[in-house]
Amino acid sequence: MSLQISDCLPSAYPAESTFHQARGFSYRLTLLSLLSFLLLNAFATSKIDSLQAALKSHEKASDKISTMLELGAAYVSKSDYRMALESDRKLIDYVSKYGTKSDSAKAFRHIGLVTMGMSWYEESLKYLMQAHHLYDDIGDSAKAATTLMNIGTDYDFIGDQAKALEYYAQSQAMFQQIKFDFGLANCKLNIAIIQTKQKKYKEACDNFLAAAEIYKKENNISYLAACYINLGLAYKNQKKYDLAMEYHNKSYEIYKKDDDKYHIGYYHVNMGELLLQMNKPEEAKPHLDIARSIAQESGVAELMARSYEFLSDYYVKTKNFKPAYEYLEKSKEINDSILNASTIKKVSDLQYHYEIVRREAEKTTLVKDNLQKELKLSQRTKLVYIMAALLLFIAVVVILLFSRNRLKHKANLLLEAKNKLIGSQKDELVKLNASKDRFLSILAHDIKNPLSAILGISDILMTDYKDLSEEEKKGFIQDIHTSSNNLFEIVNTLLNWSISQNGLIAYQPKNFNLTALCQNSLAKLHPIAKLKDIILVDETEPDTLVYADDNMIMSVMHNLVVNAIKFSHRGGQIIVRTGMHEDQCGVSVIDQGVGISAENQAKLFRIDQSFRANGTTGEAGTGIGLILCKDFVERNQGTIWVESEVNKGSAFRFSLPRTKE
């Protein structure tokens, strides 16, 4: 939960607080500078009414401008950015006629932060740049530096981290020059956020600690808590778990004093995740239960989704897979609903943006009509003035049409980009649904068959045990043993695939001896091959060194050799061979089994294609094992493929990068 500060003044200007999760989840929350307003949201409507009444009664321009600024801030406190934008546009019009440079700077900065809150980043940059230039002209260094920091935050949201750091550095230099410690702390905090995104955790921690010292000195408890949260996450990413726990606990003590249920809930989620990562599931469980309870009471969907997600992780670690699967499904449902709500909001914002463009175009048309009326009145004057007015009119029309076309083109480009984003999100949802359907299909078909066999045979043993011969009993027990092995293999493969799909398997590459790993895998699978009188032949080159995750590659070898045994005829042989080529090492698992047709080869390694086949002695399979192999090999910068002919056998091959110096 990384908190980003883009405003350091105690006023209701919008900024962003972004929470970056360990698995790529990102949540946008309210700004620290707005928390006091949001806590008083129940009184916002009455405050707006009183400000609107005061605006009508004021006669002095300075009083009207101050009230209009407060009115925009009140709308922001209600999270009504559209009304805030309307109010700020009127403010800019009024300030341009009756205000000072300082008033203009305040108005441009306010509308810049409002448009940033609406994710209209290009417009936000335009307004913030104007505000900065005005503050610079009037010599207000503190606000000029603050506006530079706002611009840096805007670039960060756009995704241009280099530009963001450039403006943060300029802002930091100005704060140091004027000795404004609070602004300096905010700059350091924002710089540390970007360093965290860039995985420069040591530099990030240095900046977080420096900011925390200033906030402690300034007695700014809310911002200090934000630093502690970020420090906890940064130390967790460095696997410095004691320090991570220390700073999470410090933030908790602050939020506990304020009875801040929202942040207390996220504290327990972070602690639960941290303890799971430390392999202390039983200590993590109480934290996750508290987070879930707070989420249910407060109705915060993001917190609920994260609580369910890590409760699923807890049950996986404790090997209680039914509740693990149930909580994972609940988490996915909530995340899907959040995604849908976000998409609807983006479409609504786009429509609103288009409406503003349309209204501006209508204003342009009105101006054009007024000019035409003035042209008719000027016809009574001398010919020289008529020609001058006509030329002026043509010039204005050309400029207006050009401006209108530019706005229309810009709106079309934005609409096209939004449509592409919605399309990509839809494709991702379709892919996730395909994965879910495949998983349920396997549960319904492949697990049901061996379970049915076990239940049927055990029922016979229970009812006819005394009437069966010893040979029949042994045969039934052997059948139960075979079905149990098949069921275990299917469940183990499904579990590994599910864990991989949810990003729970950490990628930990290192240099290791691939030859030793292959020989170890063959030794473990020798008893299985012996049941079918199959010979496992080791043709690996000695001391073949590669750079990869050895646990993932062991899983790949296990799946490929088990598949080769499954589809080999009794008495056959399976060859495992390695070879070196430039910067890659190749591994081949070759059998003399039933082979695979070209049509079915195209279905392998794909989650959206269903291909199952029983082994030569009826062994069941899911098709998930090869998908898992492809995922693991590609995560290790390798490639996997198959060469096969029907009734002649198959060769599954994959490559891995050679060892690094």
CA distance 36 to 11: 10
Q: What's the CA dihedral at 173, 176, 177, 181 to 10 degrees?
A: 140
pLDDT higher than threshold 50 for residue 9: no
Question: Is 199 in contact with 177 (CB distance < 8 Å)?
Answer: no
492 pLDDT band, cuts 50/70/90, is low
Is residue 512 helix, strand or coil? strand
Task: Pick 656 or 481 by higher pLDDT.
Answer: 656
Task: Pick 416 or 596 by higher pLDDT.
Answer: 596
Buried b or exposed e, range 264-279, using 16+ CB within 10 angstroms: bbbbbbbbbbbbbbbe
The pLDDT value recorded for residue 581 is 84
The pLDDT value recorded for residue 240 is 94
pLDDT higher than threshold 50 for residue 14: no
Neighbours of 598 (CB within 10 A): 9
466 pLDDT band, cuts 50/70/90, is confident
pLDDT higher than threshold 80 for residue 544: yes
Task: Report how far apart, in Å, the C-alpha atoms of 38 and of each of 33, 195, 304, 552, 606 are.
Answer: 10, 30, 21, 48, 49
Helices (H), 543-623: 550-566, 598-601
Nearest Cα to Cα of residue 77 among 18, 153, 13, 124: 13
Instruction: State the DSSP H helix or E strand holding residue 102, giving kind and residue range, or none if neither.
Output: helix 101-117
371 pLDDT band, cuts 50/70/90, is low
pLDDT higher than threshold 90 for residue 206: yes
CA distance 283 to 387: 86
Q: Helices H, strands E: what count in the chain?
A: 23, 9
What is the token pair recorded at 573? Answer: 């042989």
Question: Is 16 in contact with 153 (CB distance < 8 Å)?
Answer: yes
Percentage above 70 pLDDT, the chain: 79
Q: What is the CA 657 to chain-centroid distance, rounded?
A: 29
**Lowest-confidence pick of 422-436, 464-478, 558-572, 576-590:** 422-436
- Phi and psi, residue 582, nearest 5°: 50, -115
The pLDDT value recorded for residue 381 is 73
The pLDDT value recorded for residue 627 is 85
Predicted confidence (pLDDT) per residue in 598-646, tens digit: 888 888 887 776 667 788 887 766 667 888 899 899 999 999 999 999 9
Predicted confidence (pLDDT) per residue in 145-162, tens digit: 999 999 999 999 989 999
Task: Annotate 211-268 with DSSP letters as a single string.
Answer: HHHHHHHHT-HHHHHHHHHHHHHHHHHTT-HHHHHHHHHHHHHHHHHTT-HHHHHHHH
497 pLDDT band, cuts 50/70/90, is low
The average confidence (pLDDT) of the chain is 81
Looking at residue 652, its amino acid is F
Instruction: Read off the pTM.
Output: 0.50
The pLDDT value recorded for residue 604 is 83
Nearest Cα to Cα of residue 51 among 64, 38, 34, 36: 64
Please tell me what DSSP assigns to residue 171: H
Helices (H), 379-467: 383-445, 448-464
Question: Is 634 in contact with 624 (CB distance < 8 Å)?
Answer: no
Residues 6 or more apart whose CB falls under 8 angstroms from that of 42 comprise: none
Nearest Cα to Cα of residue 335 among 303, 377, 291: 303
pLDDT higher than threshold 50 for residue 4: no
Strand duo 649-657 + 584-590: pairing: antiparallel
